[in-house]
Amino acid sequence: MESYLLDWANLLLRWVHVITAIAWVGSSFYFVFLDSSLTPPVDEDLKRQGVSGELWAVHGGGFYHPVKFALSPPKLPDHLHWFYWESYSTWLTGFSLFTVSYLWSAGTYLIDKSVMDWSPAAAVGVALGFLVLFWLAYDGICRTLAQRKNGDALVGALVFLLVCAAAWLACHWFAGRAAYLLMGAMLATSMSANVFFWIIPGQRAMVASIQAGQAVDPIHGKIGKQRSVHNTYFTLPVLFAMLSNHYSFTYSHPQNWLVLVLMMFAGAAIRQFFVMRHGFKLGRNPHPWKYAAAGVVVIAAVLVWLKPAPVAATVASAAPAATGAPGAPGGAISYKTLQPILAQRCYLCHGALVQMKNVRLDSPEGVAAHAQMMYQQAVVTRIMPMNNATGISEAERALIKQWFESGAHVD
């Protein structure tokens, strides 16, 4: 019953998390586009009001004319929309999902004893430490260097090195799948912390100054924009880390930390292309095709690097008997041959005592009902057994593949 309720919590939290993340990322991308696409106002009245940029756009059957004031509008409107719940809701649902999916069952999902054999409590504590310590280090770098000459380049270089170090540690301490997700959560936490600790407080200070009839300190807008730009470069790396848990060929690689760093770098480079593309269309900067090309080249290099080597093991070494041509490639594998492998590798989580995801594989009927899932998760994506806790071999995966492709018979 507990597993069933956790599955529902996982499903509903994931649903809400994706919805709120779409809202946050969508609004973030839009405002980066908007800020990069503004042109000096033409109308003299807008200039007198202090408008620094405007944009004309058409969408949904109507015309829109957003404008940006350099520091403050002549008068604050009665209703001022604040963009922060998109961020906070995404983080709250994401952390709840991380708790239900990984922290609650740390011994199963967070720990891979072949990587680091430690207690669930220790693993949970260190995982939470990643979220806090990365933010403190990143924030310290920004506080110290962001306002200096060439500060953006220095901050970018040091944050990249910080991400590399965090990826190396995460992949050497946690199960690969958990390490990737933890890296995504770590960056997403810093993104939301940027909103909570810098962007929104700065905006509140600006509003308070206007309401008090005081001059607005431009530092608030400058820092807020810097942190917002950082967030937009974090976005694609975070999305890759979150989606990668479906593709074990990334996080199960011996150099999985380097795979993650390279793919995050590619994501940030591609995001740079889209950010600068708006300026190119207005003649503000050269065509940013080099950033997109760099990202594509890195992804292509990783694709070639991770190309699987031919499996040397034979089905015969795992299957002493089979229907048709016993052990021969292409022969039909019987359930009698398959069952001992399932008993040794699968029953621990999908047997009489435990039915993870409400799946049982300890009967012919259960195997028949979940044959497609078995093939996908044990052979195609290779995410099962989780962290290969039961030590399934390549030959045994090959036997499952041959069994499924020969008809998945259980009689």
pLDDT of 49: 92
On whether both 336 and 279 belong to a single domain, the answer is: no
On whether both 301 and 320 belong to a single domain, the answer is: no
Asked if pLDDT for residue 184 goes beyond 90, the answer is: yes
On whether both 396 and 344 belong to a single domain, the answer is: yes
pLDDT digits (tens, 9 = 90+) for 36-58: 999 999 999 999 999 999 999 99
Question: What is the length of the chain?
Answer: 411
Out of 261-275, 305-319, 334-348, 384-398, which region has the weakest mean confidence (pLDDT)? 305-319
Asked if pLDDT for residue 347 goes beyond 90, the answer is: no
Asked if pLDDT for residue 230 goes beyond 60, the answer is: yes
pLDDT digits (tens, 9 = 90+) for 363-382: 888 888 888 888 878 887 77
Cβ partners under 8 Å of residue 160, min gap 6: 265
* DSSP secondary structure string for all residues of 345-380: HTHHHHSSS-BGGG---SSHHHHHHTHHHHHIIIII
Mean pLDDT of the chain: 89
Q: Which domain holds residue 331?
A: 315-405
On whether both 294 and 394 belong to a single domain, the answer is: no
On whether both 116 and 260 belong to a single domain, the answer is: yes
pLDDT of 311: 52
State both tokens at 244.
């990668």
Tally of domains in the chain:
2
Out of 95-104, 213-222, 268-277, 311-320, which region has the weakest mean confidence (pLDDT)? 311-320
On whether both 301 and 362 belong to a single domain, the answer is: no
Cβ partners under 8 Å of residue 373, min gap 6: 359
Is position 265 within any domain? yes
Last residue of a domain, one of 305, 327, 357: 305
DSSP 214: P
SS3 labels along 139-161 = HHHHHHHCCCCCHHHHHHHHHHH
Is position 337 within any domain? yes
On whether both 223 and 301 belong to a single domain, the answer is: yes
Distance of alpha carbon 322 from alpha carbon 209, whole angstroms:
80
pLDDT digits (tens, 9 = 90+) for 8-35: 888 899 999 999 999 999 999 999 999 9
On whether both 270 and 319 belong to a single domain, the answer is: no
pTM: 0.82
On whether both 215 and 109 belong to a single domain, the answer is: yes
Is position 249 within any domain? yes
pLDDT of 300: 97
pLDDT digits (tens, 9 = 90+) for 109-133: 899 888 899 999 999 999 999 999 9
Asked if pLDDT for residue 323 goes beyond 90, the answer is: no
Last residue of a domain, one of 261, 281, 305: 305
Residue 81 burial (10 A CB sphere; 0-12, 13-18, 19+): exposed
Is position 365 within any domain? yes
On whether both 221 and 350 belong to a single domain, the answer is: no
On whether both 282 and 324 belong to a single domain, the answer is: no
Last residue of a domain, one of 243, 271, 305: 305
